[in-house]
């Protein structure tokens, strides 16, 4: 029995990831997705395209730009990985990791400040209650 590759339509991917077909076409225009064409320009997306779409959306949530995501894909896809490419990829990952850690620290500080403000506001309200 022949091994049939799993494929997806643009509508299937849009529904699965809750995004618009236009977004998927945009990612394709940027080279993040590389679907095959069939007949009258119908796009056929592979399992690899589905994974790349998932990684693209995750990368965006983590603060990577589409250009950075494309660069990571290009580095990963390079047929002959070179030391400079790998060093570039590691540097980009280190930079993003540092940025996310800083954001994490900032979020923790803001949450602590909000908690303190909440406590003070509740204490002030308690003091304002009429005594019976």
* pLDDT tens per residue, range 92-113: 889 889 998 999 999 999 999 9
Question: Does 70 fall in a domain?
Answer: no
Q: Do 51 and 28 belong to one domain?
A: yes
Host domain of residue 126: 78-132
Q: Do 59 and 7 belong to one domain?
A: yes
* pLDDT tens per residue, range 12-67: 999 999 999 999 999 999 999 999 988 878 899 999 999 999 999 998 988 889 99
Burial 37-61 (b: 16+ CB within 10 A, else e): eeeeeebebbeebbebbebbbebee
Question: Does 82 fall in a domain?
Answer: yes
Confidence of residue 7 (pLDDT cuts 50, 70, 90): very high
Instruction: Write down the pLDDT at residue 79.
Output: 57
Question: Does 71 fall in a domain?
Answer: no
Rounded to 5°, angle at Cα 103 from 86 and 117: 170
């Amino acid at each position: 029995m022949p091994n049939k590759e799993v494929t997806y339509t643009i509508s299937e991917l849009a529904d699965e990831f809750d995004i618009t077909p236009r977004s998927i076409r945009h990612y394709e225009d940027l080279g993040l997705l590389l679907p095959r064409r069939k007949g009258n320009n119908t796009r056929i997306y592979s399992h690899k395209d589905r994974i790349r779409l998932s990684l693209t959306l995750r990368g965006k949530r983590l603060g990577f730009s589409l250009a950075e995501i494309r660069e990571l894909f290009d580095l990963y896809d390079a047929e002959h990985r070179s030391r400079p490419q790998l060093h570039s990829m590691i540097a980009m990952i280190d930079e993003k990791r540092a940025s996310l850690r800083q954001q994490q620290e900032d979020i923790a500080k803001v949450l602590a400040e909000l908690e303190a403000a909440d406590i003070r506001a509740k204490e002030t309200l308690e003091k304002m209650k009429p005594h019976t």
